[in-house]
Chains A and B, each alone.
Chain A
Amino acid sequence: MTLRPFRIALVLITSLIPLALLAILVFLGRYSWPAITFNGWHFLWGHTWNLGNLYADPIMQRGQLAPIGANYGILVFIVGTLLTSAIALLIAIPVSLGVAIFLAEGLGSNLKIILSFVVELLAAVPSVVYGLWGYAVLTPLVARVIGPGLRSTLGFLPFFSGPIGSGYGLLAASIVLALMVVPIIAATVRDALSQVPPEMKEAAYALGATHFEVVRRAMLPTVRGNIIGACILGLGRALGETMAVLMVSGGALNYFPSNIYSPITTMASFIVSQLDSAMQDPTGMAVRSLAEIALILFIIAVITNVIARLLTGTSRNVSSV
């Protein structure tokens, strides 16, 4: 066995990738540790975020120096994150499946390349541009058209009735998120569909199935695992999306949404919107509590992505992510 400096160098550099993940966990954990001990479990189910009195001398509370009256609870943001992501997926999943079927089976090869580019572009549009479009086009549309339309058709359900407000809120955020998630799910499912063995399709045709029945009854069931994986991948993306949500969600603090038009805040967008005020805290407890949110987001993202990657099986098939 000879020493191979080239290979050793490659291994060292490659291990930077897993190390990055480890470093994120360790450093976020270490930095937010005082906040974790200060907040306890109350962090997850408390629903007021209060920086406390920043002008009085901070006092020792629960073993940590924190401003008087400081209270960090993120349940409102957890609810906002889960609600926006859930509604976004409710919209995005059927649409993505339709798009994937249309792109994989409904088109000739030339048109397929051009229209697939549309979906790739949708994935390439930066988050902040989605936010800008949401601000300039979508929120007025929600306030004047989509909101009133939903209320008049589904208004008998409590979640769809009540004041529509300015258009900034849960519905606008969910629509923007849905748009951002569709290309992820659609591309994954489209690639999976195009890899269904031709024998499978031919067998279905031989039984007399129409083209759509082949897709619906023979192809979709074969790629079920990929579809679920793709949806979880999309969920991971929606949970962590920051700028676009921040720009259209209305930024609710300390109250829960009363209907689908209410302003909300997600964990990710809260981190951005709060940095300036958190830095006013001389004890640093607010900034550390924000780090705790980032840590929770990180853990959620890792879990969803591990599940999604196990289901879509990217390691076996590199081209279908």
Chain B
Amino acid sequence: MSRPFKPSRIVRRKWLSAFGWVLSAGAFLLVATPLLDILYTVFHKGLSALSFNLFTKVTNGISGGLLNAITGTLALVSGALVFAAPVGILAGIYLSEFGGTRFGQAVRFLDDVLTGVPSIVLGYFSYVTLVIGLGWQFSVLAGSITLAIMVVPYIARFTEIAFLQVPNSLREAGYALGLRELTVITRIALPLALPGILTGVLFAIAISLGETAPLIYTAGWSNFLWNGRLIHEPIGYLTYVVWSFINQPFRSAHALAFAAAFLVILMVLVINVGLTILLKRGRPARPGQR
């Protein structure tokens, strides 16, 4: 040994290690506190702004209810799923079942890159192509497609992981019985992968619910209930209320903003609790964080 044994060195190292743990626990507290404060602030101010009118009346200038925004958010999110779920699930199936090729690897990589594209860029892209280019104006369809482009990569990766977790022996058993590829995938792998796919779809819903920037450029805003037209008709949504009404110097506008934020975060919270339960049942595999 080059250095003589010194008990004081060990004591010092123990103290330093303890200090390291204190620092890392402190770091955790440093991010947990704002989160709790965010939840507290939004729940506290949001709950006190809740009223029956919120769910029965539409916004009127800077007061009224949120019915138009609530239904609008639901319409936009379901619209996004109509496009994103089939594409994402089928792409995920391709990636897991046949994705060992160069093309598969490239798609997987670009899928990750697409999750990193800022949502405002996607919004502007849709603004240029759909809102102006195709002349749809601010509309449900333009907003939904924008959200769909945003969440497709997540659904694809969640689906891929769900299918990868189905044991190969089950597929082989199917082939041994003479089943065709399509049957093996839809009848054997799909039922087992369904919880994982559902996780991806829930994740996508949580993201779409909270998006604002791309919708400002594609869905616009409307004080009225959506009349069912897919194009040429702007639509309201909850996150717009949060952003826009908090900048108004009126108490009623602030109350609506906090009520809208409360509704959004409540839905996101419920979905995330659901996600954690779903993920705990299987192997914890959670691609992509936003």
Number of A-B contacts (CB under 8 A): 290
The docked-state distance in angstroms from the alpha carbon of A115 to that of B265 is: 19
The docked-state distance in angstroms from the alpha carbon of A97 to that of B113 is: 24
Name which of B92-100, B169-177, B222-230 contacts chain A. B92-100
Q: How distant is B139 from chain A, measured CB to nearest CB, in Å?
A: 16
Taking a contact as CB atoms under 8 Å apart, the answer to whether B14 and A14 are in contact is: no
- Residues of A in contact, count (CB < 8 Å): 95
Chain A, interface SS category:
helix
Q: How distant is A238 from chain B, measured CB to nearest CB, in Å?
A: 10
Q: Contacts A118-B32, A318-B161, A319-B287 hold; do A128 and B91 have CB atoms under 8 A apart?
A: no
User: Please, which residue of chain A has its CB at the minimum distance from the CB of B216?
Assistant: A272
In chain A, residues 241-277, which have Cβ atoms closer than 8 Å to a Cβ of chain B? 241-243, 246-247, 268, 271-272, 275
In chain B, residues 145-191, which have Cβ atoms closer than 8 Å to a Cβ of chain A? 149, 152-153, 156-157, 160-161, 164, 181-182
User: Please, which residue of chain B has its CB at the minimum distance from the CB of A214?
Assistant: B17
- The answer to whether A306 has its CB under 8 Å from any CB of chain B is yes
Name which of A3-11, A42-50, A143-151, A156-164 contacts chain B. A3-11
Taking a contact as CB atoms under 8 Å apart, the answer to whether B276 and A13 are in contact is: no
Contacts of A306 in B (CB 8 A): 109, 113
Taking a contact as CB atoms under 8 Å apart, the answer to whether A14 and B109 are in contact is: no
User: Please, which residue of chain A has its CB at the minimum distance from the CB of B14?
Assistant: A210
Taking a contact as CB atoms under 8 Å apart, the answer to whether A20 and B181 are in contact is: no
Q: How distant is A118 from chain B, measured CB to nearest CB, in Å?
A: 5
Q: Chain A residues in contact with chain B, CB under 8 A? A: 4, 6-7, 9-11, 13-18, 20-21, 23-24, 27-28, 31, 94-99, 101-103, 106, 113, 115, 117-133, 135-137, 179, 182-184, 186-188, 210-213, 215-216, 233, 236-237, 239-243, 246-247, 268, 271-272, 275, 290-291, 294, 297-298, 301-302, 304-306, 308-309, 314-315, 318-319, 321
Apart from A13-B86, A106-B21, A128-B243: 8 A-B pairs, beta carbons within 8 A: A17-B111, A106-B25, A117-B272, A120-B286, A132-B242, A243-B239, A272-B120, A294-B120
